[in-house]
Chain A
């Protein structure tokens, strides 16, 4: 260790907690810190959860990220898990100032985990199940061969993310067609009879449609309804499905969560009154964390800018803002921050607080790729509206295309038909083919997706994958 002991860290945690509670109103539940080797931090980061099942997928991520660490290109200071109690990993060998920043930062995350309604909705007691799942998958690997299980995991990982995102909103079921009785029915007995027969036929058609409503939960549906799966395969599917479900709320609260954590560490460290040399060390670290990323968006940078914007509106709003927010200028700023952190997700946060001031503060710009060299970009606008138009959708769907199962007995052959609910942009052809081959391997029969060609929203196209790994683009709807 570098000049400090576990007792020192415990003392820091206690002091930070006092400040968080007294000055920010953050009463943070217990956080269990682990002081671990860099390798372990990077491995847990690659896994997403500690002690998760073994997979070459984590190995690939670990190799890439840990390699970057060893070359001095990246450094993870902390890793925190949304479990109950919250576990955080601190990296061995970091200076005491760095650990102070990290502990204060973790308290912000810890509070958000506990109080945000999206993050609180997940199964925070997931760890025992993660461990049990890891053991079962290890058993399957020794029973059926590691390679076979890995290939199956690959196929599951390909579509696991397609789960319903917002459980709070349920689409209404398709209404059954019916013929309403009218006052003049007696005048047109034949027509009424025909209409009734038609409605009856449509009803019957609707009732035997399977799935009855388009299914957003791809892996869940296949797990329940695919034939010819072995028990272990169904179990692997359910494991991947459940663990992915746990991660989805984190995707939708990334900005909010990091904004809160940075706010927390900045406010707390300010109040620790560090000696000058340590304070400068802290400032150097802090500005590294929140520095804007050239050509991309740093979630720490944008997150804290939005938190500061909320505080500014609460303390010194202009007239327009007073008009817009009843609480502007009327509320204790951290109380307003807490209110936002309790109920918002990133989409709501951006819709409400990605103001022109924030866009300017963060130097945000909208860009388009050069048609000839997609690796290069052209700045198209610095207007807040243009930035909002791109950034908000990115945070409502996380860039994941909406793909649903619409027919599980396609062409009357038990094939799967998926529909891409596009908004003008079709699926990437190469990836659609590769993914469909995986889906077909899981379903056991050919799978087709309906989408549009590139950016031509009016030109439908179809991709079909086969269980043997082949896949092709079809010019017309397969019949």
Chain B
């Protein structure tokens, strides 16, 4: 007979596996959120609200018999014919593999977490250090403890030692051995301290009907959320255009609509003017995002393309999103002209979004992470 104090287990094993499980869960939630960023309850939630997200696809697969209709054996009172509540109450201490292990989660998330999860995949492309930016580019964050590693965590090590000694019956420090050692483990996060100016230009002309407006605003909503959360040294300039363009406040940008025709070049002219006056290219990373339904005056297309060429010469990115709920928009659209003339222009990206589900892919296209490396080089 022996009673010993220690389990011989690594003390952090349970927590480590549980953390990893939660991380996998988080990844699955993120996947599902991407599909849902157009939904009202997410957008309407606002930055400090919580939303409820059902998590699908976390089933534990195995062959099981056709469910539900069969019978079983239970214990307790009740005469033949009596109807009783749910058999059992869920997955209580099921033996390994004897019951289908379906995990259904409904998770309440803070909007802050939602944005954190989503925006982890996005990045401002071609962000270069500018004159007034800090030199240091990464933050090293020590936020985990491991049993192996380069840097000893003295506090955690002492704690383990004390714990182990206490279990052996001597609650005091001393005799530190290998199983006590704990190390810091760290992550390096990019430290975006580069100044950037983002021009957000939206077509507010009469042809932008309710559906198009909605997608355009949702797109800009997520752009603004992303930029504000991830980059503390960015400035935003909002431009609304019909045949004329003008700088507007954020509130006006998201709330007002006008009527009239569309001359896209007016927006780019406004961008050039404001940039020239206030944001010299040697101090700023410059981004231009334009959203329209693509119904530009035919006569304006040449001028528009010329301006895009000029902008790409000093901008990190010129992006164009065409919102058109009608699929296969047609050859008169602005996107068709872009496709023909400047599809390969470096620093120019265009995409189309016909429905909510296309929003995330569009955001990914403009703020793609993997592209950063190849272009910065």
When C-beta atoms are compared, the residue in chain B nearest to A155 turns out to be B61
Stretch at the interface among B97-105, B120-128, B238-246, B255-263: B97-105
| CB neighbours of A51 from chain B (8 A) | 8-10, 13
Decide if A77 is an interface residue (CB 8 Å cutoff): no
B70→A425 contact, CB < 8 A = yes
Does A132 touch B at the CB level, under 8 Å?
no
**0 or 1 for each of B52-78: is its CB under 8 Å from A? (1 = yes):** 000000011111111111111111111
- Return the chain B residue nearest A388 by Cβ: B73
Asked whether A44 lies within 8 Å of B73 as measured between CB atoms, the reply is no
Would you call A89 and B65 a contact (CB within 8 A)?
no
* B80 close to A381 (CB less than 8 A): yes
- Shortest distance in angstroms between B295's beta carbon and chain A's nearest beta carbon? 39
Taking A159-B62, A371-B69, A428-B64 as contacts, is the C-beta distance between A35 and B95 under 8 angstroms? no
Given A9-B3, A51-B8, A59-B22, A428 and B66 contact (CB-CB distance below 8 Å) = yes
- Given the contacts A48-B96, A55-B17, A431 and B4 also touching, CB distance less than 8 Å: no
Q: Are B6 and A376 in contact (CB under 8 A)?
A: no
* Cα-based distance from A376 to B100 in the complex (angstroms): 18
Say how far B121's CB is from chain A's closest CB, in angstroms.
15
- CB-contacts of B13-28 with A (<8 A): 13-24
> Are B63 and A63 closer than 8 Å at their CB atoms?
no
Q: Is B174 an interface residue (CB 8 A)?
A: no
Query: Does A26 belong to the interface (CB within 8 Å)?
Result: no
Contact-residue bracket for chain B: 35 or more
Q: Which residue of A lies closest to B79 (CB)?
A: A379
Contact A427 B65 (CB under 8 A): yes
- Which chain B residues border A13 with CB–CB below 8 Å? 1, 3
CB contacts (< 8 Å) of B11 on chain A: these are: 40
A427 near B64 with CB under 8 A, answer yes
Q: How big is the A interface, by class? A: 35 or more
Question: Does B88 reach chain A (CB closer than 8 Å)?
Answer: yes
Complexed CA–CA distance, A150 and B23 (Å):
12
**Is A343 an interface residue when CB atoms closer than 8 A count as contact?**
no
B77/A401 in contact, CB under 8 A? no
Q: Does A455 contact B (CB under 8 A)?
A: yes
- Whether, in the assembled complex, A158 has its beta carbon less than 8 Å from a beta carbon of chain B, the answer is yes
Q: Are B14 and A43 in contact (CB under 8 A)?
A: yes
Chain B interface helix/strand/loop/mixed: loop
B190 at the interface (CB under 8 A from A): no
Residues in B whose Cβ lies below 8 Å from that of A57 = 21, 60
Q: Are A374 and B69 in contact (CB under 8 A)?
A: yes
Q: Does A262 contact B (CB under 8 A)?
A: no
A56 adjacent to chain B (CB < 8 Å): yes
| A88, closest chain B residue (CB) | B3
**Set of chain B residues within 8 Å of A247, measured between Cβ atoms:** 96
On chain A, the residues within 8 Å of B88 by CB distance are 293, 295-296
A437 to B61, CA, bound (A): 9
Cβ A363 vs Cβ B83 within 8 A: no
Interface: A187 (CB within 8 A): no
> Do A17 and B1 touch (CB < 8 A)?
yes
The stretch that binds B, out of A207-215, A226-234, A273-281, A392-400, is A392-400
13 additional contacts (CB under 8 A) given A147-B24, A294-B75: A42-B14, A154-B61, A160-B97, A295-B87, A363-B77, A367-B72, A369-B70, A376-B86, A379-B78, A382-B79, A426-B65, A431-B61, A431-B62
B residues whose Cβ falls under 8 Å from a Cβ of A: 1-11, 13-24, 59-88, 91-93, 95-100, 103, 167, 169
20 A-B pairs with C-beta separation under 8 A = A39-B14, A46-B14, A50-B7, A51-B10, A55-B17, A58-B17, A244-B96, A295-B84, A296-B87, A301-B75, A363-B77, A367-B71, A367-B72, A377-B87, A382-B80, A398-B97, A399-B64, A435-B61, A438-B61, A454-B69
